[in-house]
Structure 1
Amino acid sequence: MTRARSSLIDPGSTPYYHCIARCVRRAYLCGKDHLTGKNYEHRRQWVVDKLRELVSIFSIEVCAYAVMSNHYHVVLRINQTPAREWSRDEILSRWTRLFTGPLLVQRYLAAEQLSHSELARVDEFVEEYRNRLTNISWFMRCLNEHLAREANQEDGCKGRFWEGRFKSQALLDEAALLTCMAYVDLNPIRAEVSETPEESDYTSIQERIEKLAGSDARKQPITLMPFRSQGQNPDKALPYILHDYLELVDWSGRAVRSDKKGAIPSDIPPILARLEIDSNEWLKTMRRNSRFYRAVGRLAAMRTFAQELGQQWVQGMIACSRLFYGVS
């Protein structure tokens, strides 16, 4: 049974979520349609450009993304702290970059004289927009509606463009976040459209590698949540070292392609041992993510998540217990 999105996305449980949106009837979002001969490759940039715009507006950060031919993946982090500190003008300035807002808000922004009751109503709008700017459903709505309008206009048609509402997975702990980020970054390699991470176009891993190879390798992409560095506030960065993550994705990428039957490298990246992740189960997960559904995490976290949903069990608990052998 379909559950309300509010019961599946709860920042109090975890700020990290893996979201997936797929085109209706598996039509082409991007890439080349071999039946019609049409090439939609340019649409991949639409996704990346809109993600960058939304990150500059919302108090939501992008950890990883991959734009595929008929769907896309994105790993998001809700960061409520900045939004709590935004002033009335800051909130309205951000929101009206997306929507014009009601007439009263437009009058306020035009510096018209408002009564006390009108200002109180403006403040009600401000608090509503503040909540929306930390809401993944609104983030994904702004992204998907924009892409649907652009694609339908280009195709000269109307109607549904997306298969349904986006799917989301709660990433309940550090190990789950690492698993889904790597899974997302390895999408083009798993689909056999790229040989290496650096050749994986329109992915966060390629963007990070290109930035690392640039003139100032110390800086990470400003539109992606940074990896931890020495002395950095852990609340403002992903809980891994960038070098460790790149090593892990490279190691995994050499083993997940179904068209390559070479031996799996024996030198397991140390980050897997540190996070108590079984290497064989890790590679199974990198090949297919259907092992999980609403959430990913260690068994204890999955049990807690199930209880919060009013259930005793959620799909993926057995797979998670095999993949993450640590108890905490």
Structure 2
Amino acid sequence: MPRPRRTQISVEDTPFYHCCSRVVRRAFLCGDDRYSGNNYDHRRGWVESLLFELEAVFAIDVAAFAVMSNHLHVVLRIDLDTANRWSDAEVLEQWHKLFKGDELTRKFAQGGLVESHEVIHLKHSIATYRSRLCDISWFMRCLNEPIARQANQEDNCSGRFWEGRFKSQALLDEAAVLTCMAYVDLNPIRAKMAATPEQSNHTSIQLRIQAALKGEQPPNLLPFIGNERDNQPNGIVFSLQDYLELIDDTGRIIRDDKRGAIGENSAKLLTRLNIEQESWLKITTEFGKLFHGPVGTLQELSSYCEHLEKRRRHFSACCQHLNAG
């Protein structure tokens, strides 16, 4: 029986979550559908465009994504600090980019006078919207529902387009985050949709490579910020160059027609993560099979279960894969 989403999210333990949505009824999100003979590649653009629209509205960062033929992967980071820093007016400004709100919130947002008896209702609405703007369930709802409506309209049908619930996994430590990102970024290569990371259309790795060639990082993706230090901005505490090299090395090994090996810089990164090379290849190619719940070390999992008041450490056997090194 599916568990309520609130029992899977613990921002106290981690702001990072891996989400995956799959389509139903032999529907195709993109690519060639052999059953209908139609090509749906244009829908990948729908998803990527909407993903970044939502990233600009929510207090949620996109760390990685890949739009596949019949499913979507995203690695998200909840940014509670930004949500809490927003003023009441800023919360309503963000919310009204997606929803109309009510007459009172619109009046306040436009600078209108709020009567004393309306203040409690207004404060309640703002608190609700602030909470939703850093809620992964609301983020995924705002992503999946419009895509489903567009696809149904295009297919001239009704009913479900996505499976009933998206899959959500807590990524409890830096090794879990980087491993999951690599798994997502390498999805098109494993599926033989692309030969190299830079040719993987509608993925975060392609955007990172294109920006890196200009000495930049994509403005709508959570940046790599190097080694952890004081007063640094939000980001992924690894070197971007090391990560790109690791993805390139791993991608070459995965491909049957390429000779590849883990290079020196990539090996150092794996050493920092305490993951052996053989384990790394197994995890990044079989992440979806190996991990069916929260991902991290047993110590991190125990803390996560304690904060969510879980009596049993479900998926503890899965998490031992990250301790293989």
> What's the TM-score, normalizing by structure 2?
0.93
For residue 304 of structure 2, what is the aligned residue in structure 1?
A: 305
For residue 291 of structure 1, what is the aligned residue in structure 2?
A: 290
2: CA distance between counterparts of 1:242 and 1:30? 29
1: CA distance between counterparts of 2:321 and 2:111? 60
1:153 equivalent to 2:150? Answer no
Deviates more, 1:190-199 or 1:116-125: 116-125
Q: How does 1:68-147 map to 2 (within 5 A)?
A: 68-147=68-147
Name the SS of the counterpart of 1:61 in structure 2: strand
Q: How does 1:174-213 map to 2 (within 5 A)?
A: 174-213=174-213
1: CA distance between counterparts of 2:68 and 2:257? 21
Name the SS of the counterpart of 1:288 in structure 2: helix
Q: Are the equivalent residues in 2 in contact too, given 1:62–1:74 (CA < 8 A)?
A: yes
Deviates more, 1:226-235 or 1:200-209: 226-235
Aligned match for 1:223, one of 220, 224, 237: 220
Aligned match for 2:245, one of 239, 243, 247: 247
1:31 equivalent to 2:28? Answer no
Name the SS of the counterpart of 1:245 in structure 2: helix
Shift of the alpha carbon at 1:301? 1.2
Query: Which segments of 5 or more consecutive residues in structure 2 lack a partner in the other structure?
Result: none
Relative to structure 1, the CA distance from residue 245 to residue 265 in structure 2 (aligned partners, 3 Å threshold; closer, same or farther) is closer
2: CA distance between counterparts of 1:319 and 1:244? 27
For residue 274 of structure 1, what is the aligned residue in structure 2?
A: 272
Deviates more, 1:125-134 or 1:260-269: 260-269
> What's the TM-score, normalizing by structure 1?
0.92
Q: Match for 1:239: what amino acid?
A: V
2: CA distance between counterparts of 1:23 and 1:160? 8
2: CA distance between counterparts of 1:110 and 1:52? 26
Relative to structure 1, the CA distance from residue 123 to residue 28 in structure 2 (aligned partners, 3 Å threshold; closer, same or farther) is same
- CA-atom RMSD in angstroms: 1.9
Q: Match for 1:223: what amino acid?
A: N
Q: Are the equivalent residues in 2 in contact too, given 1:63–1:77 (CA < 8 A)?
A: yes
2: CA distance between counterparts of 1:288 and 1:256? 12
1: CA distance between counterparts of 2:303 and 2:26? 35
Q: C-alpha deviations, 1:232-253, integer Å up to 9, x for none?
A: 8445110110011001111111
Q: What percentage of aligned pairs have identical amino acids?
A: 47
Relative to structure 1, the CA distance from residue 115 to residue 306 in structure 2 (aligned partners, 3 Å threshold; closer, same or farther) is closer
Q: Match for 1:76: what amino acid?
A: L
Query: Which segments of 5 or more consecutive residues in structure 1 lack a partner in the other structure?
Result: none
2: CA distance between counterparts of 1:256 and 1:27? 28
Relative to structure 1, the CA distance from residue 206 to residue 102 in structure 2 (aligned partners, 3 Å threshold; closer, same or farther) is same
Q: Are the equivalent residues in 1 in contact too, given 2:64–2:185 (CA < 8 A)?
A: yes
